[in-house]
Amino acid sequence: MSKKIPIEVCFSPVMYHRFHNDEAIVVIVDILRATSAICTAFENGVNQIIPVQTLDEAYEYKKKGFLVAAERDGIKCDFADFGNSPFNFTPNVVKDKTLVYSTTNGTQAIHMAEKAYKVVVGSFLNLSALTDFLAYHKRPVVIFCAGWKDRFSLEDTLFAGSLAEKLLETNLFFTICDSATASIDLWSIARNNVMAYIEKAAQRHRLKKNGLDDVLEYCFTHDLTSLVPEFKNNVLIVEKYCENINNFSQNENKISN
Amino acid sequence: MSKKIPIEVCFSPVMYHRFHNDEAIVVIVDILRATSAICTAFENGVNQIIPVQTLDEAYEYKKKGFLVAAERDGIKCDFADFGNSPFNFTPNVVKDKTLVYSTTNGTQAIHMAEKAYKVVVGSFLNLSALTDFLAYHKRPVVIFCAGWKDRFSLEDTLFAGSLAEKLLETNLFFTICDSATASIDLWSIARNNVMAYIEKAAQRHRLKKNGLDDVLEYCFTHDLTSLVPEFKNNVLIVEKYCENINNFSQNENKISN
């Protein structure tokens, strides 16, 4: 039997320096709502997403005519086309477009992990596809919860637990990471009634306060997409798009030659 | 009914800046083994403990003739009198002494929290006494898990869950903190067989590897002491000792006047 591959879970950006591994695939998780929204945008045909860390950067892109999604503390920024509800990213809005995206926690985490072997975007919406992707690549996995302002987040942890559990079920992976163990155990408590469990989460109350909790059930729906967005050369893409780009470039080269 | 008091749980020193509150009582937790050892030393009559952050400081104290406990990664430092097993701190060794103490995670956390209203030391060994202490003071509570090298630690989290649960039972406290909720739920899974559950914890395996896991059952024993060590003026003391000191000083003043 070949050697099993480690799974680790990082609960906050401020802990990430202890988890960074050049050889690992890092899964960015910000369930309410950034990574759920990103998966939705790709399912609905967005070409690429440029995640930016600051609102200044987002604003610069807006001035250049880009479509911009930007929020802080869950609230859409004035200059932006929309905030980070996945319900904004409908096919008529995003199809074949480039989207610029800045959120409170999620986009920062994407940039922090950029030196890893691969950085991919995870949500319940692409849970099974992500599991297949990780099982295919057979690399150490770091599930990186974006959390909330450096804090632990219950909804990101439930996703980490569900993904870790599915990876363990492949028999390719193992874990000795306390955060992974805790995530799996919390998922085991929550799984039979996630909507009831998530009532306890702070972010659920933040969203409710701002009238933004219409996305809850959607964000905990499994496998609405088979796409795994990946962060490459400072943009989020899906491999299919990537391959098209490559084919297109090769064809172009052939034509121009 | 008077307003309830918040409980929060901080999973790592790198998150503490988000939890600091001048008005709170911070409970330092490093179950395997620093805070269990500190509670043991006070129960066995130590006068005071000077927690130091660096081994250099600990070594300087040693040269001045102090009794020194110092470890890194669970291993006793060469120059020290002992490491941080609570079994070292027997009455014949520590009674009426001043002990200097430096550990991998716990002593740093004590210093980080020093600007809070009070900083106290928590372990299963003083769980009920600590609950009474916190219920008496009616201050916001931050349970500060020292963790392991900035990471989340399962054993500290189980303690945080057990303490948070006991505080909630007083009806004086409430929590909307995701880490507190997670701690309580993990404790609910572990509580009926903590020794079996803790088999999953990384630190349990670190201790075992180093032959230091003889303390496990002891560190999960409830209420072996009624003392709550407190960090005041750079030393850990218990109030009883403090009162004696005050009485003694007052008497001295009377005599010298």
Plot region of A4 (φ>0 → left; ψ -120 to 50 → alpha; else → beta) = beta
pLDDT confidence band for B248 (50 / 70 / 90): very low
Q: Mutation test of the interface with chain B: which of A7, A16, A152, A192, choosing the one with the most B Cβ atoms within 10 A?
A: A152
Please report residues of B whose CB lies closer than 8 A to that of A11: 11-12, 152
Residue with the bigger pLDDT between B140 and A215: it is B140
Tens digits of residue pLDDT in B184-240 = 999 999 999 999 999 888 777 887 887 777 899 999 999 999 999 999 999 999 976
Question: How much is the pLDDT for A246?
Answer: 39
Tens digits of residue pLDDT in B133-159 = 999 999 999 999 999 999 999 999 999
Q: Contact A12/B17, CB-based, under 8 Å?
A: no
Tens digits of residue pLDDT in A141-167 = 999 999 999 999 999 999 999 999 999
For residue B249, count other CB atoms closer than 10 A to its CB.
Answer: 10
Residue B18 sits at the chain A interface (C-beta within 8 Å): yes
Q: Mutation test of the interface with chain B: which of A17, A112, A185, A189, choosing the one with the most B Cβ atoms within 10 A?
A: A185
Is the bond preceding A72 in cis, omega lying within 30 degrees of 0?
A: no
Residue B178 sits at the chain A interface (C-beta within 8 Å): yes
- CA distance linking residue B109 with residue B147, whole number of Å: 9
Question: How much is the pLDDT for B74?
Answer: 78
Asked if the model's pLDDT at residue A73 lies above 90, the reply is: no
Q: Nearest 5°: phi and psi at A68?
A: -125, 125
Radius of gyration of chain A (CA): 18
Distances (CA, A) of A158 to A51, A192, A201, A219, B32: 24, 12, 11, 12, 26
Question: How much is the pLDDT for A214?
Answer: 86
- Strands A141-145 and A48-51 turn out to be unpaired
Tens digits of residue pLDDT in B41-77 = 999 999 999 999 899 999 999 999 999 999 888 789 9
Residue with the bigger pLDDT between A243 and B234: it is B234
Question: How much is the pLDDT for A243?
Answer: 42
**Could you tell me which residues come within 8 angstroms of residue A251 by beta carbon, excluding any fewer than 6 positions away?**
none
Amino acid identity, residue A10?
A: C
Share of chain A above pLDDT 70, in %: 93
Asked if the model's pLDDT at residue A247 lies above 70, the reply is: no
Tens digits of residue pLDDT in A81-102 = 988 899 999 999 999 999 999 9
Tens digits of residue pLDDT in B84-130 = 899 999 999 999 999 999 988 888 899 999 999 999 999 999 999 99
Q: Nearest 5°: phi and psi at A118?
A: -145, 150
Whole-model pTM: value is 0.91
Q: Round the average pLDDT of chain A to a whole number and report it.
A: 90
Question: How much is the pLDDT for A11?
Answer: 98
Share of chain A above pLDDT 90, in %: 77
Beta-strand runs (E) in chain B: 5-10, 25-29, 48-51, 67-72, 75-76, 98-102, 118-122, 141-145, 173-174, 230-232, 235-237
Residue with the bigger pLDDT between A218 and A204: it is A218
pLDDT confidence band for A239 (50 / 70 / 90): confident
Q: How far apart are the first and last CA of chain B?
A: 50
Residue with the bigger pLDDT between A247 and A233: it is A233
In the predicted model, what is the mean pLDDT of residues A187-198? Answer: 95
pLDDT confidence band for B250 (50 / 70 / 90): very low
- The rounded Cα A82 to chain-centroid distance in angstroms is 18
Residue B237 sits at the chain A interface (C-beta within 8 Å): no
pLDDT confidence band for A244 (50 / 70 / 90): very low
Q: Round the average pLDDT of chain B to a whole number and report it.
A: 90
Tens digits of residue pLDDT in A97-135 = 999 999 888 888 999 999 999 999 999 999 999 999 999
Question: How much is the pLDDT for A240?
Answer: 60
In chain B, residues 187-216 whose CB comes closer than 8 Å to chain A: 188-189, 200-203, 205
Chain B nearest-CA distance from A137, in A, is 26
Compute the CA torsion angle A128, A11, A84, A122 (nearest 10 deg).
Answer: -20
In the predicted model, what is the mean pLDDT of residues A228-237? Answer: 97
Please report residues of A whose CB lies closer than 8 A to that of B15: 12, 14-15, 150-152
**Could you tell me which residues come within 8 angstroms of residue B206 by beta carbon, excluding any fewer than 6 positions away?**
B73, B74, B148
Which of B15, B17, B157 is nearest residue A182 as measured by Cβ atoms?
A: B157
Q: Contact A201/B178, CB-based, under 8 Å?
A: yes
Question: How much is the pLDDT for B253?
Answer: 37
In the predicted model, what is the mean pLDDT of residues B151-169? Answer: 97
- Cβ pairs bridging A and B (under 8 Å): 85
Please report residues of A whose CB lies closer than 8 A to that of B150: 14-15, 17-18
Nearest CA in chain A to B151: A15
